[in-house]
């Protein structure tokens, strides 16, 4: 990409915005980083030392004096600065798009509503193990927390970039082309951004395969109704690999290439079926539930598309213990198991966590509501939950939603919620922290929320 002397505005000074600004500057661009809020003073100094112009607490007219604009994923298309940029005909791209234009490595892209991080982490671990044998590196970047732009210049053609992708990051991708694309599922989430239309949300996700060609592979979840309908009957120039736990629906042909057959993960090949691993070999305390079997199927499909042997896949799966903040076992206290599922920021993720709980549980839920339909899990809550401890902005909404279904107590803080759950949890029960809501009412992000939850739990245990 020839950016010498080009003027580029970067809107948003989060991690991805800063990384994009630094990458663009290294390529010879004249870069302005602009943020509506405050920027840490040490960050400003670092950027200015690199000859990157910085403005904060508002966007000046300087942002419109640009040949190109890179926008941070958290900035919605409805804000004034975006509308003005568009009215002036300035091309706006995402950080993922800009990084991909510098990328020499092979790319595996993973998107979906739930399971992105677990699937991305599994694929990355498999690639790391294979890379040790075959002398290449795997880079885990994107929505998982490390900006693509921050590492892309280190990547060689032998390496692989495993890029977790949110719908926000994909919205303004125009040439991004993963060698292997994975879609884990599509369920209602972020619908305020997409005006309540799940198909607009899905359309953003589908940017992941928009530029794929005949040498590429698309992997998708055949169990997901929206994806099953979307891909039925279509002809694509690239290889399409469906995976799924459930058998064919109705009179449909079973299209699954990677599937669960009894208790085993199986891959269908031109010469028959190959058993990869039995599920008992990888389902563990912090990595359980049917949704995680689905994540394994996606990872197995990606590994197969990349030519990685089943021996490598098996060795990684046998050691995998899940990811932090996703149904993460914290400790057992007075006979009750405590589980941190802070990454559950929507109802579907909460449902998956409840389904994975082996018995009765006390559920700590709440945060910044996304317009959740709590009635969709009412039956599961009645079956599994002995008490809900509601917290955050949505606590009154949760109380009203489950009135008459299960007892609900409202907490004034996370520490209060943990204390109330501790008082209520019986021996053999699980205390499940699965908020089902965004974290921004009380915390910086879901990671911050999960860390503080674990701290509160550990404070319950006498030293």
For 423-457, the pLDDT digits (tens) are: 999 999 999 999 999 999 999 999 999 999 999 99
Single out the residue in 77, 97, 117 at which a domain terminates. 97
Does 314 map to a domain? yes
Residue 273 pLDDT > 60, yes or no? yes
Measured CA to CA, the distance from residue 60 to residue 54 in angstroms comes to: 11
Query: For the segment 235-260, what is each residue's pLDDT rounded down to a tens digit?
Result: 899 999 999 998 877 667 788 999 99
Does 15 map to a domain? yes
Task: Encode 364-389 in three state secondary structure.
Answer: EECCECCCCCHHHHHHHHHHHEEEEE
Provide the 3-class DSSP secondary structure of residue 116: helix
Tally of domains within the chain? 3
Does 1 map to a domain? no
CATH number at residue 242: 3.40.1190.10
∠ CA 143-353-335, rounded to 5°: 125
- Residue 415's Cβ-count burial label (10 Å; 0-12, 13-18, 19+) is middle
Average pLDDT rounded to a whole number, residues 133-157: 97
Do 173 and 224 fall within a single domain? yes
∠ CA 461-286-148, rounded to 5°: 110
Query: For the segment 172-230, what is each residue's pLDDT rounded down to a tens digit?
Result: 999 999 999 999 999 887 767 877 889 999 999 999 999 999 999 999 999 999 999 99
Structural domain including 12 reads 7-97
Does 425 map to a domain? yes
Q: What is the DSSP letter of 135?
A: T
Does 194 map to a domain? yes
Do 311 and 179 fall within a single domain? yes
Do 72 and 136 fall within a single domain? no
CB-CB contact of 305 with 412 (8 Å): no
Single out the residue in 97, 121, 152 at which a domain terminates. 97
CATH number at residue 441: 3.90.190.20
Single out the residue in 272, 291, 319 at which a domain terminates. 319
CATH number at residue 53: 3.40.50.720
pTM: 0.87
Burial 166-191 (b: 16+ CB within 10 A, else e): bbbbbbbbeebbbbbbbbbbbbbbbb
């Amino acid at each position: 990409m020839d950016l010498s002397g080009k003027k580029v505005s970067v809107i948003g000074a989060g991690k991805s915005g800063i990384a994009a600004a630094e990458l663009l500057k290294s390529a010879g661009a004249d870069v302005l980083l602009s943020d509506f809020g405050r920027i840490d003073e040490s960050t400003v100094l670092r950027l200015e030392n690199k000859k990157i112009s910085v403005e904060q607490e508002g966007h000046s007219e300087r942002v419109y004096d640009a040949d190109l604009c890179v926008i941070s994923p958290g900035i919605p298309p409805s804000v004034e600065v975006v509308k003005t940029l568009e009215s002036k005909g300035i091309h706006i791209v995402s950080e993922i798009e800009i990084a991909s234009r510098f990328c020499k490595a092979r790319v595996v892209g993973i998107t979906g509503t739930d399971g992105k991080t677990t699937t991305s982490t599994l694929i990355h671990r498999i690639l790391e193990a294979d890379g040790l044998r075959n002398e290449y590196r795997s880079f885990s970047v994107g929505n998982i927390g490390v900006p693509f732009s921050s590492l892309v210049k280190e990547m060689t053609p032998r390496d692989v970039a495993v890029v977790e992708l949110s719908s926000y990051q994909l919205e303004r991708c125009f040439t991004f082309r993963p060698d292997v694309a994975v879609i884990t599922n599509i369920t209602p989430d972020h619908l305020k951004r997409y005006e309540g239309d799940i198909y607009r949300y899905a359309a953003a996700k589908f940017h992941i395969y928009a530029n794929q060609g005949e040498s590429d592979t698309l992997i998708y979840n055949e169990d997901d109704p929206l994806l099953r309908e979307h891909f039925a009957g279509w002809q694509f120039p690239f290889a399409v690999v469906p995976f799924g736990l459930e058998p064919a629906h109705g009179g449909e042909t079973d299209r699954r290439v990677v599937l669960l057959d009894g208790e085993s993960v199986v891959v269908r090949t031109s010469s028959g079926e190959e058993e990869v691993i039995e599920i008992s070999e990888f389902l563990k305390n912090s990595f359980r539930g049917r949704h995680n079997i689905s994540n394994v199927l996606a990872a197995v499909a990606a590994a197969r598309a990349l030519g990685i042997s089943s021996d490598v896949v098996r060795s990684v799966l046998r050691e995998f213990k899940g990811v932090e903040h996703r149904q993460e076992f914290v400790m057992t206290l007075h006979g009750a198991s405590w589980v941190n599922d802070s990454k559950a920021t929507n109802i579907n993720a909460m449902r998956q966590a409840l389904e994975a709980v082996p018995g009765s549980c006390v559920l700590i839920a709440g945060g910044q509501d996304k317009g959740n339909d709590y009635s969709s899990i009412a039956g599961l809550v009645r079956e599994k939950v002995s008490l809900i401890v509601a917290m955050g902005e949505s606590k009154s909404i949760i109380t009203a939603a489950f009135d008459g279904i299960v007892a609900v107590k409202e907490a004034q803080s996370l520490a209060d919620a943990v204390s109330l759950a501790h008082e209520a949890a019986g021996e053999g029960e699980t205390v499940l922290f699965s908020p089902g809501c965004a974290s921004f009412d009380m915390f910086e992000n879901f990671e911050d929320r999960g860390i503080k939850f674990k701290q509160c739990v550990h404070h319950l245990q006498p030293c």
